[in-house]
């Protein structure tokens, strides 16, 4: 069995390439995985591609199997679905998800992969890391039965959050985005859509995912008194300015962050990161998530794909990468 693979590397900010790589020997507790699909995390990977990771976040923002360092050369990514070619008998031939970069084949500890449930196709399973982020955000936000909840930002994360919110009895869920074309996706997810100027106000909870200062400002404006914005956005090296001298103070509003690097505090003592990822994969039995899979390309085209996404030339939601074999 060949011990070589191909991997995508960011050689320097704005420049990506596919490089050959040698695989390490497989130990008794490792698996050899052949990639089937990987997904591009638009917000984070675009920011990494353009070199926008702040130096003081180089360590915090490392992906689990990252090689190299920011701003580059670096091998980065974390939405990989493949089939186990070699490893423990219980995993051999099974489809698994792994937080691994874009690479044709790879060797990792068996504990680093999670089985994709029967009934969840590989192309949809690439969303597991994004749904995991949404799960963590809802553990942080703790929405209640009948709450009026708005999600600002109809990107991958925002759409996943909105879909999960539809499972809360009596919840009034609205998805807000500046792009009116996202109304079609909102409909497929079973939630109401609005542009920022038409969004409903007096909301109990707003989850912000747009990664823009304008989106965060509008999120605060949508709250009722004593309401909370849970901010899932990563702004990288961008500065964010907020008008905290007016209604933010008088209406006793709250902004709090949610980040997937650690299990949300309300569940940290009872759930592991593997538990959280396993739950995300189970939730992906829902075919409504297929609305987020808007384009696909061959692995060989990934350097051009990421350049196009980072430059805004390739709009959409989840862009999946297809591997041969």
Give the CATH number of the domain where residue 151 resides. Answer: 3.40.50.720
pLDDT given at position 1? 43
Residue 178 lies in a domain: yes
The two most distant CA atoms of the chain are separated, in Å, by 67
Q: Tell whether 110 and 16 lie within a shared domain.
A: yes
Phi, psi of 241 (to 5 degrees): -115, 130
Strands 113-115 and 95-98: antiparallel
Residue 311 lies in a domain: yes
Structural domain count of the chain? 2
pLDDT in tens, 81-99: 999 999 999 999 999 999 9
Residue 236 lies in a domain: yes
Residue 279 lies in a domain: no
Three-point CA angle 278, 89, 84, nearest 5°: 60
Residue 272 lies in a domain: no
Report the predicted TM-score, pTM, of the whole model to 2 decimal places. 0.94
Q: Tell whether 16 and 69 lie within a shared domain.
A: yes
Q: Tell whether 92 and 144 lie within a shared domain.
A: no
pLDDT in tens, 29-80: 999 999 999 999 888 999 999 999 999 999 999 999 999 999 999 999 999 9
Q: Tell whether 21 and 106 lie within a shared domain.
A: yes
Percent of the chain at pLDDT > 90 equals 93
Closest by CA position to 137, among listed 252, 248, 267, 245: 267
Residue 275 lies in a domain: no
Residue 184 lies in a domain: yes
Q: Tell whether 23 and 142 lie within a shared domain.
A: no
Q: Tell whether 225 and 107 lie within a shared domain.
A: no
Q: Tell whether 114 and 144 lie within a shared domain.
A: no
Q: Tell whether 252 and 171 lie within a shared domain.
A: yes
Q: Tell whether 120 and 139 lie within a shared domain.
A: no
pLDDT given at position 324? 79
pLDDT given at position 237? 85
**How high does pLDDT run on average in the chain?**
95
Residue 52 lies in a domain: yes
What's the average model confidence in pLDDT over 236-257?
92
pLDDT in tens, 172-222: 999 999 999 999 999 999 999 999 999 999 999 999 999 999 999 999 999
Can you give the CATH number for the domain in which 67 is found? 3.90.180.10
pLDDT in tens, 116-142: 999 999 999 999 999 999 999 999 999
CA dihedral 116→119→123→129, nearest 10 degrees, is: -40
Distance CA 216, CA 240 (A): 9
Strands 67-68 and 74-75: antiparallel
Q: Tell whether 46 and 169 lie within a shared domain.
A: no
Q: Tell whether 136 and 257 lie within a shared domain.
A: yes
Q: Tell whether 305 and 240 lie within a shared domain.
A: no
Sheet holding 223-231, edge to edge: 192-194, 172-176, 148-152, 203-208, 223-231, 254-257
pLDDT given at position 325? 55
Q: Identify the residue whose tokens are 């493949």.
A: 82
Domain with 180, as residue range(s), is 132-263
């Amino acid at each position: 069995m060949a011990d070589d693979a191909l991997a995508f590397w960011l050689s320097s900010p704005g420049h990506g390439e596919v490089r050959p790589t040698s695989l390490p020997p497989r130990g008794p507790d490792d698996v050899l995985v052949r990639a089937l699909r990987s997904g591009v995390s638009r917000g984070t990977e675009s920011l990494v591609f353009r070199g926008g990771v702040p130096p003081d976040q180089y360590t915090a923002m490392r992906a689990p199997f990252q090689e190299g360092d920011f701003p580059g050369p670096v091998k980065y990514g974390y939405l990989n679905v493949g089939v186990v070619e070699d490893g423990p008998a219980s995993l051999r031939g099974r489809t698994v998800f792994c937080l691994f970069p874009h690479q044709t084949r790879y060797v990792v500890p068996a504990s680093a992969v999670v089985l994709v449930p029967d009934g969840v196709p590989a192309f949809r399973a690439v969303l597991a890391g994004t749904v995991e982020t949404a799960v963590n955000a809802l553990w942080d936000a703790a929405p209640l039965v009948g709450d009026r909840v708005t999600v600002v930002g109809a990107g991958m994360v925002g759409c996943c959050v909105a879909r999960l919110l539809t499972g809360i009895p009596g919840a009034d869920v609205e998805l807000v985005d500046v792009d009116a074309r996202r109304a079609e996706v909102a409909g497929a997810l079973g939630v109401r859509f609005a542009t920022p100027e038409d969004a409903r106000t007096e909301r109990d909870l707003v989850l912000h995912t747009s990664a823009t200062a304008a989106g965060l400002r509008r999120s605060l404006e949508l709250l009722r008194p004593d309401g909370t914005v849970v901010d899932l956005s990563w702004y990288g090296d961008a500065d964010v300015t907020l008008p905290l001298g007016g209604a933010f103070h008088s209406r006793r509003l709250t902004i709090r962050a949610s980040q997937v690097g650690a299990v949300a505090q309300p569940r940290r003592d009872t759930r592991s990161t593997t538990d959280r990822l396993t739950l995300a994969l189970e939730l992906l039995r829902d075919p409504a998530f297929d609305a987020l899979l808007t384009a696909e390309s061959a692995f060989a085209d990934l350097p051009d794909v990421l350049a196009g996404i980072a430059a805004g030339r390739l709009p959409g939601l989840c862009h999946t990468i297809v591997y041969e074999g």
